[in-house]
């Protein structure tokens, strides 16, 4: 959904056999990595039998960097590109020279698109159009325009090209998938940064996980573990211990392309504040957003809680709308957490009890460059989000988040996201 400050960092695609030292992943046998070259064939049964999955190391943080990025190798010959990660949108795209109209600064040379155009009548193209009854001005190509919540936009053409992917069973594949060749981008000043493109992790047909699943190469499951210290990792495929996660159903109505979990109850300091409205999880947003009613309830509760404590509102700090200063500058959130209580969002699971998403102070506070402690939950109604509540990166820190598109479930559990699963064949 691309909201809030975003930026650029390196992502390394490192996939191999899992080490048994990670509690999140099952033990797998060491295999020699095999590369499937053009002209060679492999059965998807071979991959699926071995438990086909991928893991990508992520770099970045919520603040002050403001984004999480990966690196993917794309094209023939393959070249590295830095991609912002976004579970709130579907299409993966690169800024390209087609020729370009408007592009931002890029860390690498602009992508030179392949000649393999996706036609206008392709189902992938249809999934990017604003309505089912769209017109094809150019039948031999798929034109698209995508507008993001932070007034960022991209216009381009859909092409197919080769992605170099290393699977956890030791096989390297050159997988041909659709991506966007974005030749006209508009960047608002608040979210501008050099980038090569965007990695869409959403539920739609054009997302990479949907395409990989459609080719029988991985189950349609996305996971991420973002560290409060910076970095973390993303997973594609069924690579987690499901018994250790708390699960709640996804909803489809009106949110078919987003990871939404329906109506929820807000809990501040252990006390219920009533129904909050629909909740969406989105790694494309640095911060969390509550709708106006929930946000105002949170601000009122915080003011009451802090009224007799030695932190006072810092009106001169414009990092985010609400900040507080202490008797001396704070260096880290752990120094300020004693003044704040945990939050939670509780989902009803249709007679199966409640699924509670815990938000400790570390998952809703940041320390500004002025040494103040600031609220990383913003008013979504002020940025056109209506009644929606959006859980951004800050509130998903140090949690294993899993979006199981096949079972239509969202799962989470506390995790040490600094500890990227080790590989027997490759060292990170």
Residues in the chain: 428
CA dist 44 and 162 (Å) reads 17
Retrieve residue 358's tokens. Answer: 């815990």
3-state secondary structure 214-282: HCCCCCCEEEEEECCCCCEEEEECCCCCHHHCEEEECCCCCCCCCEEEEEEEEEECCEEEEEEEEEEEC
- Report the pLDDT value the prediction gives residue 163, as an integer from 0 to 100: 97
Q: Does the structure show a pLDDT above 70 at 89?
A: yes
From the list 84, 86, 90, 317, the catalytic residue is 86
From the list 150, 161, 196, 282, the catalytic residue is 282
Question: Domain coordinates of the chain in residue numbers?
Answer: 12-240, 243-414
Is 49 in a helix, a strand, or coil? helix
* CATH fold of 12-240: Cathepsin D, subunit A; domain 1 (2.40.70)
- Report the pLDDT value the prediction gives residue 64, as an integer from 0 to 100: 86
Supply the CATH classification number for the domain 243-414. 2.40.70.10
pLDDT band at residue 189, thresholds of 50, 70 and 90? low
Q: Note the pTM of the prediction, 2 decimals.
A: 0.85
pLDDT tens-digit readout, 106-161: 899 999 999 999 999 999 999 999 888 888 989 999 999 998 876 778 999 999 99
pLDDT tens-digit readout, 315-340: 999 999 999 999 999 999 999 999 99
Q: b vs e for 76-85, b when ≥16 Cβ sit within 10 Å of the residue's Cβ?
A: eeebbbbbbb
86: annotated active-site residue: yes
CA distances from 375 to 149, 282, 289, 292 (A): 21, 18, 11, 15
> Please, where are the H alpha helices in 244-378?
292-306, 333-336
254: annotated active-site residue: no
Any idea which of 165-174, 269-278, 408-417 has the lowest mean pLDDT? 269-278
């Amino acid at each position: 959904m691309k909201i809030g400050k975003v930026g650029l960092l390196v992502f390394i695609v490192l996939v191999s056999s899992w080490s048994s030292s990670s509690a999140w992943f099952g033990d797998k046998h060491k295999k020699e990595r095999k590369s499937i070259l053009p002209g060679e064939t492999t059965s998807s049964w071979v991959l699926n039998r071995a438990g086909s999955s991928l893991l990508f190391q992520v770099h970045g943080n919520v603040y002050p960097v403001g984004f999480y990025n990966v690196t993917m190798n794309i094209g023939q010959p393959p070249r590295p590109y830095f991609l912002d990660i976004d579970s709130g949108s579907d299409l993966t795209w690169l800024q390209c020279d087609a020729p370009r109209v408007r592009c931002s600064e890029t860390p690498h040379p602009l992508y030179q698109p392949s000649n393999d155009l996706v036609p206008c009548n392709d189902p992938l193209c249809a999934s990017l159009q604003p309505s089912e009854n769209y017109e094809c001005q150019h039948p031999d190509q798929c034109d698209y325009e995508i507008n993001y919540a932070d007034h960022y936009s991209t216009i381009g053409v859909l092409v197919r090209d080769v992605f170099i992917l290393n699977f956890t069973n030791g096989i390297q594949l050159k997988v041909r998938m659709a991506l966007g060749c974005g030749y006209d981008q508009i960047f608002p000043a608040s979210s501008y940064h050099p980038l090569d493109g965007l990695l869409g992790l959403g539920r739609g047909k054009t997302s990479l996980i949907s395409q990989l699943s459609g080719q029988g190469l991985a189950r349609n499951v996305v996971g991420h573990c973002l560290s409060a210290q910076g970095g973390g990792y993303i997973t594609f495929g069924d690579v987690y211990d499901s018994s250790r996660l708390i699960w709640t159903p996804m909803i489809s109505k009106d949110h078919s392309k987003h990871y939404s979990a329906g109506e929820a109850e807000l809990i501040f300091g252990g006390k219920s504040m009533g129904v909050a409205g629909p909740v969406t999880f989105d790694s494309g947003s640095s911060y969390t957003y509550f709708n106006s009613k929930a946000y105002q309830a949170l601000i009122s509760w915080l003011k009451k809680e802090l009224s007799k404590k030695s932190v006072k509102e810092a009106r001169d700090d414009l990092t985010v709308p609400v900040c507080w200063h202490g008797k001396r500058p704070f260096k880290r959130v752990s120094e300020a957490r004693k003044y704040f209580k945990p939050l939670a969002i509780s989902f009803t699971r249709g007679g199966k009890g409640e699924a509670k998403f815990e938000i400790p102070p570390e998952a809703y506070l940041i320390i500004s460059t002025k040494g103040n402690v600031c609220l990383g939950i913003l008013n979504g109604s002020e940025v056109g989000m209506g009644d929606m509540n959006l859980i951004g990166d800050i509130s998903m820190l140090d949690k294993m988040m899993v979006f199981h598109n096949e079972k239509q479930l969202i799962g989470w559990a506390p995790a040490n996201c600094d500890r990227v699963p080790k590989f027997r064949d490759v060292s990170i």
